[in-house]
Structure 1
Amino acid sequence: MKSSNVVLRAGPRFGAAGLLAAALLCGSIAPAHAVPTFSLVPSATTVQQNQSFSVSVMAGDLTDLYAYQFDVSFDASLYQVTGFSLGSFLSPDGSSFYLPGTIDNTTGTVSFVLESLVGPVPGTSGSGVLGTINFSALPTASGTGSIGLNELSAYNSALEAINLAPVAMATVSVVPEPATWGMLSLGLLGVLGLRRQRSAGAFQS
């Protein structure tokens, strides 16, 4: 009696289509790398005349940040810059080289704000506050203006440029103080009362 040999055959070969599907699957489950960002976060989006407020310059999802530089633009008809405070993200121990920039409240600019680590050290990774721009709304201002970052650049510890996502402008509105609103209301009531008296006099005559 002859013994039968059982031959196990392999299934269909994993062809080009299968390889493509596997590659797409691996790509879909691979962790996404966040795009590094600088952003502007105002302490308030609406302020009163003469009121102080601030706008934080935030770093998000940075890797090996060694140095950065930017200019600030703002609506000089609505507010003025009173100063710039350095944050602790890049250098928690305060050992970085720092230039606070030149404030021009006539043109609405702060030129050449710069911070850099010093020496052969690794850059900072993560997210945090790079600095805070301090503003004061003008006493007669009214309206909505924008605050933006211009000429922005960032570098890693190899002094290679870091590609950043576009920075959205911050919007802050200035409204009259409550006392001003009260005076405007009284003035409006006075005008309406005067018109009413004139209308009544004309009717009687």
Structure 2
Amino acid sequence: MKQFVLASLLVWGVPLGAATIEVSPGSANATIGSTIIVDVLIQSVADLYAHQFDLSFDPSVLSATLVSPGQFLSGGVGFLPGEIDNVAGTVVFTADTLSGPDPGVSGSGTLASIQFTGLAPGVSALVLSNVILLDSNLADIELDAVNGGSVRVGDATVPEPAQGVPMIVALIAFLVRRRVRGTIRGGTPT
């Protein structure tokens, strides 16, 4: 009897746990003016037919520039990038859906990618909210966890010159000066 129950679970694909949605990478670094892309990932979902989420960030540190669809619902026909508000620091109503009588998608993957530009030094939390996951019967899919992330923006660093570089520059300047001096005096360069 135990073997029949186990085989039934494997055949019908009953999920062992609820889905998780998260920002990836969980922690990232950027510099002022640089571009960083974060993905919104779904983990361990069964029969995902449609989704919607909002994301908030610190608008004094980051500026959202683009929202693009992920590959998880690649057959989706209704991707909505949502509305970017860089004053409030939100991307609201990002959504995607499949169409027709097809079953939903199971597994893990990228729902959407959001591109940011670093504005000023600081740390911005990336907070997911208003998450809705629907199966092919348009019933809610249980969420086990919603995990946000953060982006640290720092000043653009100017690399320090290597220790030997100033000495080489000084030596070249000395040799050029010596050569010019010898030519000006009417002699041959020494």
Deviations 1:133-180 (A, max 9, x none): 000001xx111110111110000000100011231220111111114x
Pairing partner for 1:168 from 143, 147, 157: 147
Rounded to whole Å, the distance in 1 between the matches of 2:44 and 2:76 is 22
Of 163-172 and 40-49, deviating more is: 40-49
Match of 2:56 in 1: 73
Rounded to whole Å, the distance in 2 between the matches of 1:44 and 1:37 is 17
Match of 2:93 in 1: 112
Q: Taking structure 1 as the reference length, what is the TM-score of the superposition?
A: 0.68
Deviations 1:64-93 (A, max 9, x none): 0000001110110101001011011112xx
Pairing partner for 1:96 from 63, 71, 77: 77
Shift of 1:112: 0.6
Give the number of equivalent residue pairs. Answer: 150
Deviations 1:114-133 (A, max 9, x none): 10111111000011111100
Pairing partner for 2:68 from 85, 89, 103: 85
**CA-atom RMSD in angstroms:** 2.4
C-alpha contact 1:43 1:54 (8 A) present in aligned 2: no
C-alpha contact 1:48 1:174 (8 A) present in aligned 2: yes
Structure 1 stretches lacking a partner, 5+ long: 1-29, 183-205
Which amino acid in 2 is paired with 1:39? E
Which amino acid in 2 is paired with 1:136? T
Q: How does 1:1-205 map to 2 (within 5 A)?
A: 33-42=16-25, 45-91=28-74, 94-138=75-119, 141-179=120-158
Structure 2 stretches lacking a partner, 5+ long: 1-8, 161-190
Of 141-150 and 59-68, deviating more is: 141-150
Q: Taking structure 2 as the reference length, what is the TM-score of the superposition?
A: 0.73
Rounded to whole Å, the distance in 2 between the matches of 1:137 and 1:146 is 13
Q: Secondary structure at the match of 2:143?
A: coil
Which amino acid in 2 is paired with 1:168? N
Which amino acid in 1 is paired with 2:153? V
Structure ranking higher in strand proportion: 2
Rounded to whole Å, the distance in 1 between the matches of 2:78 and 2:51 is 11
Which amino acid in 2 is paired with 1:73? S
| Deviant stretches of 4+, over 3 Å | none
Rounded to whole Å, the distance in 2 between the matches of 1:80 and 1:102 is 13
Q: Secondary structure at the match of 2:144?
A: coil
C-alpha contact 2:76 2:97 (8 A) present in aligned 1: no
C-alpha contact 2:56 2:126 (8 A) present in aligned 1: yes
